[in-house]
Structure 1
Amino acid sequence: MIDETSWKFDNIPLTDCLEALEVLLDRIDDAYAEGHDSCYSEDLFDVFVLGDKRFFDLCGEDSPFPIPAEIQERIASIFGRLQKWQDLSLPAHLDVRVGTGPEEFAPSIAWVHAQSVDEPLGLPACLSFQPVRVEGCLPVAVDNRVRDIWFVSSRQSYNGYFRTLIEQFSSSPQEMESLSHSAFPDLDFRDECFGGVKDMSKPYRELAKPLVHHLSILCDHGARIFAGPRERIAAEFGAFGVDISNENGNTKADSEALKERTKKVNGENIEFLWHTKLERHCDRIHLSANGVQGGGKLMIGIFCRHLK
């Protein structure tokens, strides 16, 4: 959902404003490319964004705050494919309070708040103009009911939103898999690897939080760590609370054990020897860092309780 109340350009330098606007458009493009729905309010382009000026008032040649033609074209292209939430449903109350801020008239935020009952994977997020709206997960009160809602602008908060959906609302490895690209964009996942989660030692809902933690650290820091000295890898991950190790020589020399850790990906046999440990003696995430030195991503190959 596009948060139209955050489109306020007053007292923001033009270059900062345009940069933040393009960041917002990037997030809409990300959501669209990754198969997620977005919508906006039919009032978006009627609100005042700069003094008594609406957005389209700033698109003319005589604008005191000119919006470049390429951004105008990008906005027209993006919003031309989005649905308006007024075509879906109307919230009963339109006044909201975000965090400790004052009460404000914010129909789109109120609409997101109203979806809490109907969304099996939790609330939608609000895509906001960063200089005005603080990003992250914030309490929002509507008619004395408080819900935590994500306000997304940067790629970091975008990833954080999807990680929260997995951790708090997903009910199966399949749902985790469906959100994994958005939550962990700097990881590759072998096809069907998420099926191994069901073989771990605990029910999925008990595993969701530690799985998200391990995958988040691998996504955010894994390539950097594996590009450094190998003798530092365990300590670097340990600083983030992730226990990781490579297989020992005995395991590598055992043909049966090595076969368990070798999977075919795009016609190539890849060995997944490094593994993080959710528990000391069980529940592993096996990965390959073979592509990191060439600028590639870590690949997650196997989720399991334990291999031979």
Structure 2
Amino acid sequence: MTDLLDDFSDALEKLSEQQAVAVSPLWMEVECADDRELYDVLYEGQAPRAGRDARLRMIRLMDRCPTWDTDVPGLPDRVEVAAVGRDLAWSLCYAWWRARQRHHVACLIFPAGDRRGWLPVSAIDEATSRPATEEVFHLAEAPELVEFWRCLFEREDVTEQDFFDRARQSFPHLVLADSLSFRKFDGSYPEMRDWVVRVLGVVHDHFADALALHSGQPHQVQAELGRFGLDLSPESPNTRSKPSIMKQRDIEHEGETYRCEWHGKRERHRNRVHFSLPDPRLGGRILIGIFVNHLDT
């Protein structure tokens, strides 16, 4: 129990440093185990027992979080999660209600169970008096939050105006050049958005590892990344032999020049996302430097 409390507190502390984290105003009253409220377990040390330091740390972190408003119309007091009924699960009730408003929130859960990712949550919709199901994201570790942010591009139909702010949350190991614009593609933002999200996801999650695994050998790295259903490659030897054309791949960012030779291709003849190698000047991160129809070759 002490280890689990520490794991939960680690996640909560990390998330609180990065995001707005709110708690139910009734969180202390939630039944924990054997008809005992969480208050009894944390303050009185009743079974299931945990170390004093772990209990006090969790209390301190939870007390620092603002509470969300319970005075909202249609907030249920009972939900079903993956067909399992839960009474007075206030945070899940609130997450379901927010999802009904098309504004998702993620739920940080205690790490003892195996609930992870998007799960169906059902409750009675007050407006129709009928059951309604929404998917709510469950996470137990802070790094899992990036999956939540990425899914919202489609689930909340993120606009072009908000795309780059959301992308910085979704892909923290990438740096996005200020000059990026969807208007430089041959295609509209709605047509291009989901493909760009896929490219950024693969580059963020796998590009540096593929480079290390294959000692930077281009064809092997390209084949490794091809497993994810995308065409990612460096420029051809013919293009690389032309200094003036390769200069089109150079991007100025905060007073430094980065060569964005690697690129993802949506189609053979058009629409590219160009990016750099991991760079020490960026703390080992990768610069996404160019959105473009096609550069000279």
TM-score when normalising by structure 2: 0.84
Name which structure has the greater RCO, CA cutoff 8 Å, separation 6+: 1
Moved more, 272-281 or 165-174: 165-174
- Pair 1:299-2:287 in alignment: yes
Aligned letter for 2:137? W
Aligned letter for 2:194? K
> What's the counterpart of residue 139 of structure 2?
152
Moved more, 47-56 or 210-219: 47-56
Among candidates 211, 214, 225, match of residue 199 of structure 2: 214
State how far apart, in whole Å, the 1-side matches of 2:232 and 2:239 are.
16
Identity %: 24
CA RMSD of aligned residues (A): 2.8
> What's the counterpart of residue 8 of structure 2?
21
Residues 197-255 of structure 1 deviation map (CA, whole Å, 9 limit, x = unaligned): 23222222232222222211111111111223314111000111121111123333434
TM-score when normalising by structure 1: 0.81
> What's the counterpart of residue 213 of structure 2?
228
Moved more, 148-157 or 263-272: 148-157
Query: Which consecutive residues of structure 2, in runs of 5 or more, have no partner in the other structure?
Result: 125-130
The SS at the match of 1:296 is coil
State how far apart, in whole Å, the 1-side matches of 2:178 and 2:51 are.
43
Give the C-alpha shift of residue 293 in structure 1: 12
Give the C-alpha shift of residue 182 in structure 1: 2.4
- Pair 1:72-2:56 in alignment: yes
Aligned letter for 1:79? D
Among candidates 85, 88, 97, match of residue 105 of structure 1: 88
Give the conservation status (yes or no) of the 8 Å contact 2:5–2:54. no
Alpha carbons of 1:83 and 1:100: their partners in 2 closer, same or farther (altered >3 Å)? Answer: same
Residues 34-73 of structure 1 deviation map (CA, whole Å, 9 limit, x = unaligned): xx43211111112232435444444568655234436624
> What's the counterpart of residue 178 of structure 1?
165
The SS at the match of 1:141 is strand
State how far apart, in whole Å, the 1-side matches of 2:195 and 2:39 are.
47
> What's the counterpart of residue 112 of structure 2?
131
Give the conservation status (yes or no) of the 8 Å contact 2:6–2:54. no
Moved more, 241-250 or 157-166: 241-250
State how far apart, in whole Å, the 1-side matches of 2:283 and 2:229 are.
25
The SS at the match of 1:86 is coil
Query: How many residues were matched structurally?
Result: 286
Alpha carbons of 1:79 and 1:181: their partners in 2 closer, same or farther (altered >3 Å)? Answer: farther
> What's the counterpart of residue 258 of structure 1?
246
Among candidates 180, 193, 199, match of residue 184 of structure 2: 199
